[in-house]
Structure 1
Amino acid sequence: MAINKLKVMLSFMREINDGNMPSAADYGITNREFWEIIDACQDEGLIKGARFSRGGQGNPILMAFLDGVTLTVKGLEYLDEHSAAMRAYKGLKELRDWLPF
Structure 2
Amino acid sequence: MAKDDYFKIIYVILQELYGCKKQGCKVDLRAISPQRFQVPEGYLLDILADLLEERYIKGFEIIGTKTGRAVCGLEDITITMKGIEYLQDNSKMKQVYNLLKEVKDWVPGL
Q: Which has the larger radius of gyration?
A: 2
Flag whether TM exceeds 0.5 (same fold).
Answer: yes
CA–CA distance in 1 between the matches of 2:88 and 2:54? Answer: 16
Query: Given residue 15 of structure 1, which amino acid in structure 2 is its aligned partner?
Result: E
Task: Show the counterpart of 2:70.
Answer: 62
Matches within 5 A, 1:61-100: 61-82=69-90, 84-85=94-95, 86-89=97-100
**Maintained 8 Å contact 2:10/2:47:** yes
**2:44 partner amino acid:** F
| Match of residue 41 from structure 1 | 51
CA RMSD of aligned residues (A): 2.6
Give the equivalent residue in structure 1 for 2:63.
53
Measured against aligned partners, the alpha-carbon deviations of 1:33-55 in whole angstroms (never above 9, x if no partner) come to: 11110110010011111222321
Q: Is the 8 A contact 2:60 2:71 kept in 1?
A: no
1:46-78 per-residue CA deviation (whole Å, 9 max, x = no partner) reads 11112223216xx73234531111111110100
Match of 2:11 in 1: 10
Structure having the higher helix fraction is 2
Question: Aligned residues, how many?
Answer: 89
Q: What TM-score results when the alignment is normalised by the length of structure 2?
A: 0.66
The answer (yes or no) to whether the contact 1:35–1:64 under 8 Å persists in 2 is: no
For 1:45, give the aligned amino acid. Answer: R
2:23 is matched with which residue?
none
Following TM superposition, by how much is the alpha carbon of 1:17 offset from its aligned partner in structure 2, in angstroms?
Answer: 1.1
* Partners of 1:41 and 1:16 in 2: CA distance: 12
